[in-house]
């Protein structure tokens, strides 16, 4: 059976966030993401999910 990836949720206060994988040199390139009109965005590299605090 294939291993499934579970995404971690990080609560933020801004619509624009950045992610580098959190692993220093073991992470991924730093990317900036904007939620637009939504209240969450997910990193395409590591599946971290950023959710806007209400």
* All structural domains of the chain: 9-52 (2.60.260.40)
At residue 3, does pLDDT exceed 70? no
Reduced to 3 states (helix: H, G, I; strand: E, B; else coil), residue 9 is: strand
Q: What confidence score (pLDDT) does residue 1 get? A: 47
What is the pTM assigned to this prediction? 0.80
pLDDT per residue over 14-29, tens digit each? 999 999 988 777 889 9
Partners of 10 in the β-ladder: 50
């Amino acid at each position: 059976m294939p291993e499934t990836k579970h995404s971690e949720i990080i609560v933020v206060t801004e619509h624009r966030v950045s992610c580098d994988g959190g692993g220093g040199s073991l992470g991924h390139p730093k990317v900036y993401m904007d939620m637009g009109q939504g209240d969450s965005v997910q990193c395409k590299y590591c599946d971290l999910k950023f959710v806007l605090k209400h």
